[in-house]
């Protein structure tokens, strides 16, 4: 059960089928363009959509808005140091700024940065600075039904290959994303992090985590084997293997906005701090209000509560189980923050050129007022290169929806699956030249 009770409620919108039909047509069959007030259950993302606790709301009231040396910064710094063990703590307003600061500082033209799978903002920050982002995840990560417990693991042999191809001097750092968001929120094992750490030490290459879901990843290690003890100890053990991290606190920080870089290297921290002053603000607020730092510090404490994590991960697993029981094709095993419907198996009669995952995303909205996110041809097939997978991600915000909300979503998915033969594909009528999925317009194929 939920390890919390509810003090404040927010009414969710209900719409008629006719209203949803009109909203879909007006949006150009693109749910990014549908106003949130017309969405009943919003599973577009788990980023920045968490519900804050009473203690976090209370934290906002003790915001100290001093330009320099705010009390809230010192609490935030102490919290991040204790959780990660890293000495230097640099606040930012979200994760991609942490990445920007890191890569503008360390990256030279032509450098290669390995990761299990780069998140899109990480990849974009590397490429924007003239670098090459290389994905080195284990092969099983690309198989939607390979049931392995730590599908986010790095393949160390692929690191060897990057090293052999470009040489040590072209690899400014190795990243490891926990959990592996772009691979379905799949966890990385402690053993694998140890191997990556040893590899980096052997070659004197810095090792940095993209640690947005560090607590969810630690919990998976506790329940799927490989680590025991308190979550805070497992987390600390993970961080002890690396030299630093970038974090978007919009995930496991349980806040609506925030992030940070934490590092041990003094010289690098100094360079990053100078850059921070240029683009975000003074080092003790980094683009945030004092009250935001206090709420973030509180969220980082709360996320380590094992009861919270058992509910959080359990809720997503139960959601996946209910879909599996109804025969709905999913990516397995279910990861930490979302379930991914497999649209190729769901809608085998819709050819990939007609965007089956987008068709399913629109059908979920029309049938149930549910908003998911297409991760398939609309998002990725820009140059005639079609992606292997056509997925619809249903991301679960933290502490926002109850089990009955997700049961409702699972029931709608099951109904659509029974009626799948009646669903039709889509074609594009407008597309931008970059990141087209955000603004594309489509129409049904008749």
Ligand X SMILES: *Cc1c(COP(=O)(O)O)cnc(C)c1O
Candidate residues 94, 105, 129, 189; the one interacting with ligand X per rule CB under 6 A: 94
CB of 251 to ligand X, least distance (A): 6
Residues with Cβ < 8 Å from 422, sequence gap 6 or more? none
- Applying the rule CB under 6 A, the residues between 183 and 212 that interact with ligand X are 210, 212
Tell the smallest beta-carbon distance from residue 292 to ligand X (Å).
Answer: 13
Q: Are 366 and 20 in contact (CB under 8 A)?
A: yes
Binding pattern to ligand X, positions 379-418, x when CB under 6 A? ----------------------------------------
Shortest spacing between CB 159 and ligand X, in angstroms: 19
**What CA–CA distance (Å, rounded) separates 79 from 298?**
9
Burial class (CB in 10 A: 0-12, 13-18, 19+), 419: exposed
259 is a contact residue toward ligand X (CB under 6 A): yes
157-172 residues labelled b (16+ CB within 10 A) or e (exposed): ebbeebbeebeeebbb
User: What is the rounded distance in angstroms from the CA atom of residue 150 to the CA atom of residue 196?
Assistant: 14
Does 96 interact with ligand X (rule: CB under 6 A)?
Answer: yes
Among 121, 232, 264, 318, binds ligand X (CB under 6 A): 121
Among 88, 250, 393, 399, binds ligand X (CB under 6 A): 250
Closest CA to 357 of 337, 342, 339: 342
Q: Is 56 among the residues that bind ligand X (CB under 6 A)?
A: no
177 contributes a contact to ligand X by CB under 6 A: yes
47 scored as a contact of ligand X (CB under 6 A): yes
Q: Give the residue ranges of DSSP H helices in 129-172.
A: 156-166
Q: Which two tokens stand for residue 149?
A: 């417990």
CB of 51 to ligand X, least distance (A): 17
Q: How many helices (H) and strands (E) does the chain have?
A: 16, 14
Residue number with CB closer to ligand X (56 or 248): 248
- SS3 state at 74: helix
In angstroms, what is the minimal distance from the CB of 231 to ligand X? 19
Place of tokens 């084997």: 225
Closest CA to 297 of 62, 46, 121, 49: 62
Q: Among the candidate windows 94-102, 131-139, 362-370, 417-425, which touches ligand X by CB under 6 A? A: 94-102
Single out the segment in contact with ligand X by CB under 6 A; choices: 119-127, 132-140, 378-386, 392-400. 119-127
Is residue 115 involved in binding ligand X (CB under 6 A)? no
**d(Cα 90, Cα 77) in Å, to the nearest integer?**
8
- Residue 286 binds ligand X (CB under 6 A): no
Instruction: Specify the DSSP element, H or E, that contains 327.
Output: none
* 151 forms part of the interface with ligand X (CB under 6 A): no
Q: Nearest distance from residue 144's CB to ligand X, in Å?
A: 20
Smallest distance, ligand X to C-beta of residue 137, A = 13
**What residue ranges bind ligand X (CB under 6 A)?**
47, 94-96, 119, 121-122, 177, 181, 210, 212, 248, 250-251, 259
């Amino acid at each position: 059960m939920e390890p919390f009770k509810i003090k404040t409620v927010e009414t969710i919108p209900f719409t008629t089928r006719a209203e949803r039909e009109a909203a879909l047509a007006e949006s150009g069959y693109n749910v990014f363009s549908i106003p949130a007030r017309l969405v009943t259950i919003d599973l577009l993302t788990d980023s920045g959509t968490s519900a804050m606790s009473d203690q976090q709301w209370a934290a906002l009231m003790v915001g100290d808005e001093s330009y320099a040396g705010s009390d809230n910064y010192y609490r935030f710094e102490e919290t991040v140091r204790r959780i990660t063990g890293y000495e230097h703590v640099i606040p930012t307003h979200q994760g991609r700024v942490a990445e920007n600061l890191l890569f503008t500082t360390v990256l030279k033209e032509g450098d290669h940065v390995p990761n299990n799978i780069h998140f899109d903002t990480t990849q974009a920050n590397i490429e924007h600075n003239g670098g090459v982002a290389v994905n080195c995840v284990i092969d099983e990560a690309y198989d939607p039904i390979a049931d392995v417990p730590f599908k986010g693991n790095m393949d160390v042999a692929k690191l060897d290959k990057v090293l052999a191809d470009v040489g040590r001097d072209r690899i400014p750092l190795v990243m490891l994303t926990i959990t592996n968001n772009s691979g379905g929120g799949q966890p990385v094992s402690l053993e694998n992090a140890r191997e990556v750490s040893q590899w980096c030490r052997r070659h004197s290459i810095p090792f940095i985590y993209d640690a947005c879901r560090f607590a969810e990843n630690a919990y998976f290690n506790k329940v799927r084997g490989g680590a025991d003890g308190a979550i805070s100890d497992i987390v600390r053990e993970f961080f002890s293997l690396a030299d630093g991290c970038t974090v978007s606190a919009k995930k496991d920080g349980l806040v609506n906005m925030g992030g940070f870089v934490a590092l041990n290297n003094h010289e690098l921290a100094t360079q990053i701090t100078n850059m921070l002053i240029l683009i975000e603000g003074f080092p003790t607020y980094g683009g945030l209000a004092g009250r935001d730092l206090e709420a973030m510090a509180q969220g980082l404490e709360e996320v380590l509560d094992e009861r919270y994590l058992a509910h959080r991960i359990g809720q997503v697993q139960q959601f996946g189980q209910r879909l599996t029981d109804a025969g709905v094709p999913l990516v397995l095993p279910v990861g930490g923050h979302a379930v991914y419907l497999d649209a190729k198996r769901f809608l085998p009669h819709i050819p990939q050129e007609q965007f089956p995952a987008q068709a399913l995303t629109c059908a979920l909205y029309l049938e149930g007022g549910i908003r998911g996110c297409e991760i398939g041809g609309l998002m990725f097939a820009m140059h005639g290169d079609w992606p292997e997978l056509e997925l619809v991600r249903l991301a679960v915000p933290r502490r926002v929806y109850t089990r009955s909300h997700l049961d409702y979503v699972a029931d709608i998915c099951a109904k659509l699956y029974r009626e799948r033969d009646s669903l039709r594909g889509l074609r594009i009528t407008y597309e931008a030249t970059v990141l087209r999925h955000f603004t594309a317009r489509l129409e049904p194929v008749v």
